[in-house]
Structure 1
Amino acid sequence: MSIKIPDKISREEFNKLTNKKLNTPDFRQYISIIKENYKKPRGGTEYFLKEGLSEQVLIRLDYVFKRIGDRQFDSLEEIARYFRMLLDEKKYILLFAYNGTGKTRLSAEFKKLGQRLIEDTEEKTADTLYNNAFTEDLFYWDNDLENDTDRFLKLNSDSRFFVGLKELEMESRIRPFLHRYADFDFTIDYDHYRICFYRDAAISGINERIENIKISRGEENIFIWCFFLAVVQLVVDHEESYRWVQYIYIDDPISSLDDNNVIAVASHLSSLICDHDIKVVVSSHHTLFYNVLCNEIHKPEQLFLQRNAKNEEYILKDTSKTPFFHHVALLKELKKASDSGELYTYHFNILRNILEKTASFHGYRHFSSCLRRESDENSLVYTRIVNLLSHGNYSIFEPKEMVEENKEYFSTILINFLEDYKFNQNIFEAEQMQEKNR
């Protein structure tokens, strides 16, 4: 692990650090470790790092300086170690990153840090339940190429992910999740670790069951996601088979979903993991999914992961109080929706979130300060409209399209905001180009 901490700090910077930067509710706990390990000689103008400090103290100091300043890392393993220390203080980490940055590899590094080899049995213990591209590989198709009739999805029986399937009656646990999103059904052959799918359909006015269907890739993704949610439910319910889980790590679970389903998945996930003692990391490149999680989860650590192409370093940036790249991308989505006229009530939730971040960035206490004041009456109306239509209910299962009058209000508020708070167009273009290049 690369430790990067200053050997000395000027008196002015030390006072600024301990009296201002660290004097906040989130960082106040770090004041003591800084004061204990940096000392100023009598009459000196600089504070020096004490000699002979243990590796444990140096690692803790490195963590503190990363937590409060520039978060630069040499490797994904180093970020994974940082996340594990951060989760001693926080319950949730939300990570936004473009495809190709290293999200899936980061989840693998995080999982690997929690594995321990039992010498007597050569078995590995683990502490992380994860959902990523590797999870999807635990499910694979047997398409009955010879007869093209007996198709089923096979499960990797060697994985701890499938511990105690039959005893836990996983069918009854998965089905309530699946029926939120899909119209097909399934049966599990517990003895042979395989799943068959079927769908009820009306044929010539008669309801019939079509057996052994091959579901689409999008439906398969939904099924695997619902399987994972059922396991998460077992974890938060402290089921004995999953008591080994200390962390849940979820990487980009929303492939092949339209925006309405993305909102449903994000909101449903938030309700499932909140108010439990399990630590959770969620990473995504999907701006809408990330934004809903930021709104729904209480006080998460919100981070943006970048990679410096010149020196191969990784950079983590805090996005909790500033309008950053995912907000820029969201503005593009809102503008596109406004131009097309396809506006749903949840778009007001997204707009309000961006207004609040912008107000905080500019030092205002309320989002209404970022609404154009064409007149006192109009400003009051706009504030009431945003308050009324961003009440936190996304109508996730029956998304409601705005009425025409509210569409006009939305478009006016958005256009005024984009004109009054001009984001650099190069940022829009850079974000778009980076996404394409990934």
Structure 2
Amino acid sequence: MSELIYNDLSQVAEQFREVLENGVNRKVKNQILVFAYNGTGKTRLSMEFKGLGKVSTIRPANIMDGVTTPLEVEDTTRDTLYFNAFTEDLFSWDNDLDNDQQRVLKINPDSHFFDGLQELEMENRIRPLLQRYADFDFQIDYSNWTINFKREIQNESGSHETIEHIKVSRGEENIFVWCFFLAVAQLAIDGQEAYNWVKYLYIDDPISSLDDHNAIAVASHLAQLLRDNTTIKTVISSHHALFFNVMWNELDGNKKLQPYFLKHDKENQQYKLRYTNSTPFFHHVALLEQLHEAVINDNLYTYHFTILRSILEKTATFHGFKNFSACIKQGDDDPDGILHARLINILSHGNYSLFEPMEMTEENKEHFRRILNEFMDNYRFNPELFPDGSVQQLSTEQ
């Protein structure tokens, strides 16, 4: 497929709907995965897509409407349940500035996002999802449309107590909203009557405010939700290379996924959409740039081994090797490459804390620098992206 060029984002949204409705080359597509850098217009694209499914009609008023005037009323139908920056805006804080005690998160009662909130026992649906990521609990006040967050702590006497009305961090709030969305999306997929209007899910950058190491957990969880879904079609967009890569690997097996790279040509005021075929090379380059920068800044965390493993695995597959260890240079102190392969195996499968990423030990940092440096020496990349000798120099100096 050649590069497609559009004059505005509305045309791109129309293309997405065409693909999801009619497929590509007579092949049905249930999911679209889009990689685009920040500033491209991903959020605006999601709203354009939503807007295309919003239809307003005028009909005569009747007694069931509870009005005698006006003589006509407007009905609005929609077909897209979306997650983006606007979804987060459906929640706002009341910090109880007068007393600084009853801090709650307010819910916008006018949004269809909250249809059937109480009847569907949303707390019981959200809580198991939230417990995967966070150590706080919550309670919904359905009469006041507010959420009270609480956390159990151990006091000085050693007993446990629950602190009510806590102000959770921005990251914790984001993950709560994300879990709220997942619970609603599951209801839509299951055909719950309150969400029978949902024909499409549009998910834009669900981890935009979270650390890199959460990409794998969030992407894998989302893929589990979508993998066997045949009723609702989905668009997922992200600027996060690792998140994109995991989503591709998790969903590509159903052969109903259409991946794209979206670019904004500011000079010509055009949007360019390119089919990425198999796992696209530029994501690996982007990942390498992330690792390279982490090494240069000595900002290495254990989850960077997960990123490195992903790159090694794809490189091994491309070159016809059965195991990623084939891409690790064998040194005099490790002639079979067993030590470094085992190190990557162990450190790429950790159960990492969501809000407390673990910094590598100095010994592991040295191993990481060495593996990365020798890999980049062995497989040539554009030197303009990676200043010559910087990783090698840092590795030998520290």
Return the alpha-carbon distance in structure 1 between the equivalents of residues 166 and 216 of structure 2.
Answer: 28
Q: 1:156 aligns with which of 105, 108, 116?
A: 108
Which range is displaced more, 144-153 or 77-86? 144-153
Q: 1:207 aligns with which of 160, 180, 202?
A: 160
Return the alpha-carbon distance in structure 2 between the equivalents of residues 142 and 406 of structure 1.
Answer: 45
Give yes or no for contact 2:292–2:386 (8 Å, CA) kept in 1: no
Return the alpha-carbon distance in structure 2 between the equivalents of residues 92 and 387 of structure 1.
Answer: 36
Give yes or no for contact 1:352–1:367 (8 Å, CA) kept in 2: no
Return the alpha-carbon distance in structure 1 between the equivalents of residues 14 and 338 of structure 2.
Answer: 43
Q: Deviations over 1:384-423 (max 9, x none)?
A: 98699679x8545579999999988765554343224322
- 1:169 is matched with 121
Change (3 A) 1:208 1:400: closer
- 2:35 is matched with 96
SS at match of 1:183: coil
- 1:131 is matched with 83
Report which structure shows greater RCO (CA 8 Å, sep ≥6).
2
Pair 1:304-2:261 in alignment: yes
CA drift at 1:159: 0.8
- 2:44 is matched with 105
Return the alpha-carbon distance in structure 1 between the equivalents of residues 386 and 10 of structure 2.
Answer: 31
Give yes or no for contact 2:328–2:371 (8 Å, CA) kept in 1: no
Query: What one-letter code is carried by the residue in structure 1 that aligns with 2:270?
Result: E
Return the alpha-carbon distance in structure 2 between the equivalents of residues 385 and 133 of structure 1.
Answer: 41
Pair 1:74-2:27 in alignment: no
Return the alpha-carbon distance in structure 1 between the equivalents of residues 189 and 349 of structure 2.
Answer: 24
- 1:115 is matched with 54
Unaligned runs of 5+ in 2: 22-27, 60-72, 388-398
Q: 2:310 aligns with which of 350, 365, 368?
A: 350
- 1:58 is matched with none
Q: Deviations over 1:118-139 (max 9, x none)?
A: 3224121111110001111111
Paired residues, number? 357
Change (3 A) 1:348 1:428: closer
- 1:315 is matched with 272
Query: What one-letter code is carried by the residue in structure 2 that aligns with 1:355?
Result: T
Query: What one-letter code is carried by the residue in structure 2 that aligns with 1:293?
Result: M
CA drift at 1:373: 9.7
- 1:184 is matched with 136
SS at match of 1:235: helix
Pair 1:237-2:170 in alignment: no
Which range is displaced more, 212-221 or 416-425? 416-425
Change (3 A) 1:92 1:158: same
- 2:390 is matched with none
- 1:328 is matched with 285
Return the alpha-carbon distance in structure 1 between the equivalents of residues 274 and 115 of structure 2.
Answer: 38
- 2:381 is matched with 423
CA drift at 1:321: 3.2
Which range is displaced more, 130-139 or 276-285? 276-285
Give yes or no for contact 1:188–1:196 (8 Å, CA) kept in 2: yes
CA drift at 1:372: 6.1
Give yes or no for contact 1:264–1:396 (8 Å, CA) kept in 2: no
- 1:279 is matched with 233
Return the alpha-carbon distance in structure 2 between the equivalents of residues 91 and 282 of structure 1.
Answer: 11
Change (3 A) 1:190 1:97: same
Query: What one-letter code is carried by the residue in structure 1 that aligns with 2:17?
Result: R
- 1:220 is matched with 173
Change (3 A) 1:86 1:177: same
Change (3 A) 1:384 1:85: farther
User: Over the residues paired in the alignment, what is the CA RMSD in angstroms?
Assistant: 3.5
Task: Describe how 1:48-63 pairs up with structure 2 within 5 A.
Answer: none
Return the alpha-carbon distance in structure 2 between the equivalents of residues 373 and 287 of structure 1.
Answer: 23
TM-score for both structures, normalised by structure 2: 0.78
Which range is displaced more, 262-271 or 161-170? 262-271
Give yes or no for contact 2:329–2:374 (8 Å, CA) kept in 1: no
TM-score for both structures, normalised by structure 1: 0.71
Unaligned runs of 5+ in 1: 1-67, 430-438
Return the alpha-carbon distance in structure 2 between the equivalents of residues 302 and 369 of structure 1.
Answer: 25
SS at match of 1:426: coil
Change (3 A) 1:389 1:104: same
Q: Identity rate of aligned residues, in percent?
A: 50
Q: 2:16 aligns with which of 74, 77, 83?
A: 83
CA drift at 1:90: 1.5
Give yes or no for contact 1:304–1:317 (8 Å, CA) kept in 2: yes
Which range is displaced more, 319-328 or 202-211? 319-328
CA drift at 1:425: 3.1
Return the alpha-carbon distance in structure 2 between the equivalents of residues 132 and 139 of structure 1.
Answer: 13
Q: Deviations over 1:65-117 (max 9, x none)?
A: xxx21211111111111111222322222211111110000000011111111
- 2:394 is matched with none
CA drift at 1:149: 1.8
Give yes or no for contact 2:352–2:358 (8 Å, CA) kept in 1: no
- 2:216 is matched with 263
Give yes or no for contact 2:312–2:327 (8 Å, CA) kept in 1: no
CA drift at 1:315: 1.0
- 2:205 is matched with 252
Change (3 A) 1:282 1:373: closer
Which range is displaced more, 190-199 or 253-262? 253-262
Change (3 A) 1:219 1:140: same
Q: Deviations over 1:173-200 (max 9, x none)?
A: 1111111111111111112211111111
Give yes or no for contact 1:371–1:416 (8 Å, CA) kept in 2: no
Pair 1:142-2:89 in alignment: no
Return the alpha-carbon distance in structure 1 between the equivalents of residues 371 and 351 of structure 2.
Answer: 24
Return the alpha-carbon distance in structure 1 between the equivalents of residues 106 and 324 of structure 2.
Answer: 56
